[in-house]
Amino acid sequence: MTPLVRLGMGLAVAVAIVDQVSKHLLKALLTERGGAIEVIPGFFDLVTVWNRGVSFGMLGGDGIGVLPPWMLSAVAVAISIALFLWLRRITLRWTAMAIGLVIGGAVGNVIDRALWGAVFDFADFHVSGWHWPAFNVADAAIVLGVAALLVESVFRPQESRRRDG
């Protein structure tokens, strides 16, 4: 295993562990405190949200378009495998770290679906009545990893893109 693969997979494992520890601790705390804790009034709360869909709850409501947890998990596992295969070919540290963030986040959310049938989200940011959809550590890692890959794809020299495939 190359140093970049070790870096990416080490980051993936760290993200999945931090994600699961934070979820288990906050799930217990929020259950004890009635499901919500105001942390910064008017800006940030810890809440209990069970996301049965994909990002921001899409495809998780009642009726048409509902996907079962096993199907969402299968897609996340397939994406993680594809990312791992890509990770084995890359030559840049930045890419390895970005892929590790996405894999770790995907695995963290797959674990939730296996344990609970839904993803536990808890971070609720809001301003003037506007709420960002609740999220968790895994979601944040996925967003950061994808953003890093997008930034890299825009700013990395063309010859280096051909090497990493």
Catalytic residues, by residue number, are: 121, 139
DSSP conformation class of 135? B
Instruction: Identify the pLDDT of residue 53.
Output: 75
User: Using alpha carbons only, how large is the chain's radius of gyration in Å?
Assistant: 17
**Could you tell me where the DSSP H helices lie in the chain?**
3-32, 69-87, 93-116, 137-155, 158-164
- For 50, list phi and psi in degrees, rounded to 5: -100, 110
Average pLDDT over residues 57-79: 70
Q: How far apart are CA 142 and CA 39, in angstroms?
A: 24
Average pLDDT over residues 83-101: 95
Summarised one tens digit per residue, pLDDT across range 101-157 is 999 999 999 999 999 999 999 999 999 989 889 999 999 999 999 999 999 889 876
- For 33, list phi and psi in degrees, rounded to 5: -100, 15
Summarised one tens digit per residue, pLDDT across range 21-52 is 999 999 999 999 999 999 999 999 999 999 98
Tell whether the model's pLDDT for residue 159 goes beyond 60.
no
Instruction: Identify the pLDDT of residue 66.
Output: 64
Tell whether the model's pLDDT for residue 65 goes beyond 80.
no
* CB 38, CB 45: distance < 8 Å: yes
Instruction: Identify the pLDDT of residue 82.
Output: 94
Q: How far apart are CA 96 and CA 4, in angstroms?
A: 6
Instruction: Identify the pLDDT of residue 157.
Output: 65
Q: What is the pTM of this model?
A: 0.86
**117 dihedral zone (left: phi>0; alpha: psi -120 to 50; beta):** left
Domain spans of the chain, in order of start: 3-164
- For 39, list phi and psi in degrees, rounded to 5: -100, -55
3-state SS, 114-130, equals: HHHCCEEEEEEEEECCE
Beta bridge partners of 119: 51
Instruction: Identify the pLDDT of residue 58.
Output: 46
Instruction: Identify the pLDDT of residue 129.
Output: 83
